[in-house]
Amino acid sequence: MRPDKDDRIRTSWDDNAGRWTEAVRAGSIRSRGAGTDTAVVEAVARLRPGSVLDVGCGEGWLARRLAQDLGCRVVGVDGSAELVRLARDADPTGDYRRIDYGAIAADPALLGGPFDAVVANFALLSEEMSGLLRALLRAAPGGALVIQTVHPWVACGDGPYKDGWREETFAAFGAEGWSRMPWFYRTLASWHEELTAAGWRVDAVREPADPESGRPLSLLLTCTSRPAA
Give the binding site for ligand SAM (CB under 6 A). Answer: 6, 9-10, 13, 24, 56-58, 61-62, 78-80, 83, 100-101, 121-123, 125
* Rounded least distance, CB 104 to ligand SAM, Å: 8
Nearest 5°: the CA angle 204, 35, 76 is 75
Measured from the CB atom, the residue of 10 and 225 that comes closer to ligand SAM is 10
Measured from the CB atom, the residue of 13 and 178 that comes closer to ligand SAM is 13
**In which element (H, E) is residue 82 found?**
helix 81-90
Burial classification of residue 209, based on how many CB atoms lie within 10 Å of its CB (0-12 exposed, 13-18 middle, 19 or more buried) = middle
* Rounded least distance, CB 229 to ligand SAM, Å: 31
b/e 191-200 (16+ beta carbons within 10 angstroms → b): bbebbeebbb
* Rounded least distance, CB 83 to ligand SAM, Å: 5
Give the C-alpha separation, 179 to 9, whole Å.
Answer: 10
Cβ atoms 59, 38 nearer than 8 A: no
Query: 194 in helix, strand or coil?
Result: helix
Measured from the CB atom, the residue of 171 and 229 that comes closer to ligand SAM is 171
Give the C-alpha separation, 34 to 46, whole Å.
Answer: 20
* Rounded least distance, CB 132 to ligand SAM, Å: 8
Strand-pairing partners, residue 184, are 165
Measured from the CB atom, the residue of 29 and 201 that comes closer to ligand SAM is 29
Burial classification of residue 20, based on how many CB atoms lie within 10 Å of its CB (0-12 exposed, 13-18 middle, 19 or more buried) = buried
Measured from the CB atom, the residue of 6 and 127 that comes closer to ligand SAM is 6
**In which element (H, E) is residue 69 found?**
helix 61-70
Measured from the CB atom, the residue of 81 and 204 that comes closer to ligand SAM is 81
* Rounded least distance, CB 39 to ligand SAM, Å: 12
* Rounded least distance, CB 116 to ligand SAM, Å: 19
